[in-house]
Amino acid sequence: MHSLRDKRGTFGVYLRMTYANQSYFLEALVVPTTNTVQFTDRPCGSGKTSELLKSFKLNDKYFVVVPTRAEIDRVISDAVVPFDTPEEGSYQDEAGVKRSSLLMGLSDLIADGENIVCTHALFDKVNINEFALDDYNVIIDEVFDCVKGFNGPKDETFQTTYIEGGLATLDDNGKVIPTAKWLLEGDDAYFNKLLDEAKRGRLHRSGEGFYVTVVPVELFIRNRSCTVMSYLAEGSLMAMYLKKLKVPYEINKNNNIDRSAREQAKERLNISYLDLGLTKAQGYKRQGNWGGKLKEKIANKLKNRCKQMVGVTREDIMVTCRKDLWFDQNDEISSFAKDARLAKANWVHKSTKGTNAYRNCTHAIHMFDLNLNPSVKKFLDVSKEDEDLWKQSELIQWLYRTDLRNQDSDKKVHLHVTSKAMQDLIENWLSNDPIQ
């Protein structure tokens, strides 16, 4: 048997579960704060980060979240107030498993009241019940995917084993809440990953056979303030996620700056369709089936297009496709990339944001017909219009890793896109036409 008792925290209600003489505290209900998440929506390359680094005040505390390690170094070197970041390291836990010490270092910095900068990846691992961010102004540089598809048990298994078996309950948003019984007994069947995600408040069931893991929404609201700096925020999964959970947010946008950016891009951007000779849209899953003669055919199409790029070095070309197409199992350049004569080009993940590392590139080859993960789409109740906004936002963010982000440049940037649908979306953005 287990008993339930509640305690009031600063930000929510927690349940104390007692099972087999052991107690466990789990969050049951979040009491909304008065915070409204603020999106600073400005075009890529317009100086958002530079302005931020000059805006900090000595008497406030800041927690800045950035996409890359290079951006951490930039904040530490250029901010007008001191910043620190947890150092890389490792330790062995009680079971002898080697683990990263980054979270321990982060906890120490918070306890000392330091201004902190860390990556999106580390922020994603923060357990809000263990890290008190109440006094911090949280600033997130570029949106990140705070909802991800998750492979879990089949519908019948989950119902019989977890719900009827007394291992978990579901709240109104589909959040999987582990019982004290599950916490005590563990979950050998799924190698504890399912339980680990549930304990951290991250696991949601989005429908029959569909699961997602989420960044706990408390990271956006249990703080002094939360600001997200990005572009086309309305099309981001982060905004859709906040809307789903009824967290208030505002998108602060300067229409004049936005219109000017589109006009400049329209003058500098050359868009051409790269026909790969395929009859169906090529998302991530279909690219996994490129093999044999088909892969040779596609590589040849790329090679022929490259022949038209007279005087363009491969280092000035940016490419995105499935990573395992471009690199082999040893992370070496694949035969596919070599056959396409693009071995020295820059492979850049389709969701890359917030980096200047490829601003030398004047040619960009985009080989995806982007699609949301079905579990994510179902959980967020995404409409076709919302999904198109997301596709458009992702493509434009990726494209702005090129020289297009250099507002003082007059170089032409050439986008080679293999999807007619994606081509329509970028041309729609250039014309500032609403998505139908």
Amino acid 77: pLDDT: 97
Confidence grade of residue 35 (pLDDT, cut at 50, 70, 90):
confident
CB of 62 within 8 A of CB of 68?
no
In order of 163, 187, 193, the CA distances from 202 in angstroms are 17, 16, 11
Displacement of CA 32 from its chain's centroid (Å): 24
Displacement of CA 203 from its chain's centroid (Å): 17
Other Cβ atoms less than 10 A from the Cβ of 426: the count is 20
Other Cβ atoms less than 10 A from the Cβ of 6: the count is 12
Other Cβ atoms less than 10 A from the Cβ of 4: the count is 12
CB of 106 within 8 A of CB of 86?
yes
CA angle 215, 120, 75 (to 5 degrees): 145
CA dist 225 and 30 (Å) reads 17
Amino acid 186: pLDDT: 77
Length of the chain: 436
CA dist 283 and 322 (Å) reads 9
Domains, the chain, ranges and CATH? 2-31+148-214 (no CATH), 37-146+216-253 (3.40.50.300), 256-431 (no CATH)
Displacement of CA 240 from its chain's centroid (Å): 13
pLDDT digits (tens, 9 = 90+) for 5-33: 333 333 344 444 444 444 444 443 343 45
CA dist 115 and 63 (Å) reads 6
CA dist 42 and 47 (Å) reads 9
In order of 44, 121, 140, 258, 270, the CA distances from 406 in angstroms are 9, 27, 22, 15, 16
CA dist 136 and 65 (Å) reads 12
Amino acid at 199: K
> Which stretch of 124-138, 140-154, 399-413 has the lowest confidence by average pLDDT?
124-138
DSSP 102-164: HHHHHHHHHHTT--EEEEHHHHTT--TTTS--TTEEEEEES----EEEE----HHHIIIIIIT
> Which stretch of 174-188, 310-324, 371-385 has the lowest confidence by average pLDDT?
174-188
Task: Indicate the pTM of the whole model.
Answer: 0.86
Q: What angle in degrees, to the nearest 10, is found between the helix axes of 420-431 and 255-268? A: 130
CA dist 160 and 145 (Å) reads 31
Other Cβ atoms less than 10 A from the Cβ of 294: the count is 13
Amino acid 34: pLDDT: 56
pLDDT digits (tens, 9 = 90+) for 98-145: 777 898 899 999 999 999 999 999 998 887 777 889 999 999 999 999
Token duo for residue 3: 């008993």
CB of 375 within 8 A of CB of 213?
no
Is the pLDDT score of 229 beyond 50? yes
pLDDT digits (tens, 9 = 90+) for 329-363: 999 999 999 999 999 999 999 999 989 999 999 99
Residue written as token pair 């303030």: 225
